[in-house]
A = this chain, B = another copy of it.
Amino acid sequence: MIRTGFPTVGPTLTSVGEHAVIDAIVRASPSPINGDDAAVLTPSTPNSRVVAATDMLVEGRHFRADLTTPEFVGRKAVVQNFADIEAMGARPIAALLAIAAPPEMPLAVIEGLARGVGQATADYSTELVGGDVTQSDQLVVSVAAIGSLGGNRDPLSLDHARPGQRVVAHGDIGYSAAGFALLNAGVRIPEALEPLVHAHQVPRLTPGRGVVARAAGATAMTDNSDGLIRDLSQIATHSKVGIDLSSLAIAPDDLLRKAGELLGQDPWEWVLTGGEDHTLLGTCDGSAPVGFRSIGRVTRTGQVLIDATAPHYTNGWESFG
């Protein structure tokens, strides 16, 4: 079943006041260390390193109130931030949540958001440890994620890919873009294609895959946030290498092909430029770490190619387009 739409009725943020808004968030996503000026986190591992990232979701830009739900937005905001932590080979441990919202917005929207944040932080065995709520014209959800990197191995940085390595992926590629295209087209969506829509509303990622990859000897990693070619180009540029993808390994699957037929669009575009899947993309020397599959090889060409040929689609997300 596809769920969409934000609550439009009920008590507003102005009518209940800031205190009740904060209470609603803390109730939906409780933590014993939330509520002071700042949160103090106890280290999980002696001498572990702290890893930090932040990402914003803006209504009308990253999500539409008619195509998703507040719960999904809350979950997505957390998962996309935790994907950045995982992409370093680290383990997410906490999230901070800052929300700017119009005063006439129903409290139920914030309650839904907070439930989503609570679910996602719980999925990762983490906590919402602090935040801020404030007034704006447009709903803005800003999450900061904090992670922990144990041991002495290097983090999985963009500049650690080496020629000859295997390129590996964990998660679907192109599903989020296909799901958005289906929702945006306003067509009746066949039940079989619902996984694409779900993948757009909340990216799927198994918690801990980044840590597994680092333990298994992966060296570079990023997540598919802006588009497969664009994100792999980041690794290529920073590592001064090329990447040759196997067209067989990344070819649109049945679901993507069916969605493409339904909408009259080329599913390869979703695969190569879609982004927002937050699929983990890495490089490693030996066989693919558990949960990852091979999608190509690191080369010396300086370019991201498919079967040694330039890809048909190379665009990606542009923030001020």
Q: Chain A interface (Cβ within 8 Å of chain B)?
A: 13-14, 17-18, 21, 35-43, 46-56, 58, 60-62, 83-85, 87-88, 90, 94, 96-98, 100, 103, 129-138, 140, 142, 144-147, 149, 155, 157-158, 221-223, 238, 318-321
Q: A18-B318, A98-B142, A140-B140 are in contact. Are A41 and B37 (CB under 8 A)?
A: no
In the bound complex, residues from chain B placing their C-beta under 8 Å from that of A321 are 14, 103, 135
Additional A-B contacts beyond A40-B90, A40-B149 (20; CB < 8 A): A13-B320, A14-B320, A36-B88, A37-B85, A38-B87, A38-B90, A38-B145, A40-B88, A43-B50, A53-B130, A54-B130, A54-B132, A56-B100, A60-B137, A62-B134, A132-B142, A133-B319, A137-B137, A137-B138, A142-B142
Residue pair B46, A41 in contact (C-beta under 8 Å): no
State whether A49 touches B54 (Cβ < 8 A). Answer: no
Q: Are A40 and B138 in contact (CB under 8 A)?
A: no
Report the separation of the CA atoms of residues A238 and B35 in the bound assembly, to the nearest whole angstrom.
Answer: 10
Inter-chain CA distance A129–B100, complex, in Å, is 23
Docked Cα-Cα span, A62 to B136, in Å, equals 10
Q: Is A138 a contact partner of B138 (Cβ separation < 8 A)?
A: yes
Number of copies of chain A assembled together: 2
Pairwise interchain contact B41-A53, C-beta atoms closer than 8 A: no
Task: Give complex CA distance A126, B255 in Å.
Answer: 48
Q: What's the minimum C-beta distance from A47 to chain B, rounded to whole angstroms? A: 6
Question: Among the listed B37, B49, B140, B157, which residue makes an inter-chain contact with A88, where contact means beta carbons less than 8 Å apart?
Answer: B37
Chain B residues with CB under 8 Å of A130's CB are: 52-54
The answer to whether B47 and A43 touch across the interface, beta carbons within 8 angstroms, is yes
Question: How far is A27 from B61 in the complex, measured between Cα atoms in Å?
Answer: 27
| Contacting pair B96 A135 (CB below 8 A) | no
Q: Which of B17, B87, B96, B133 is within 8 Å of A53, CB to CB?
A: B96
Among B17, B53, B56, B62, the residue within 8 A (CB) of A318 is B17
Q: Which residues in B have their C-beta under 8 angstroms from that of A38?
A: 51-53, 84-85, 87-88, 90, 145, 147
CB distance from A68 to the nearest CB of B (A): 17
- A131's partner among B54, B90, B131 (CB-CB below 8 A) is B54
Taking a contact as CB atoms under 8 Å apart, the answer to whether A54 and B222 are in contact is no
Which of B60, B98, B145 is close to A55, meaning CB atoms less than 8 Å apart? B98
Closest B residue to A220 using CB positions: B36
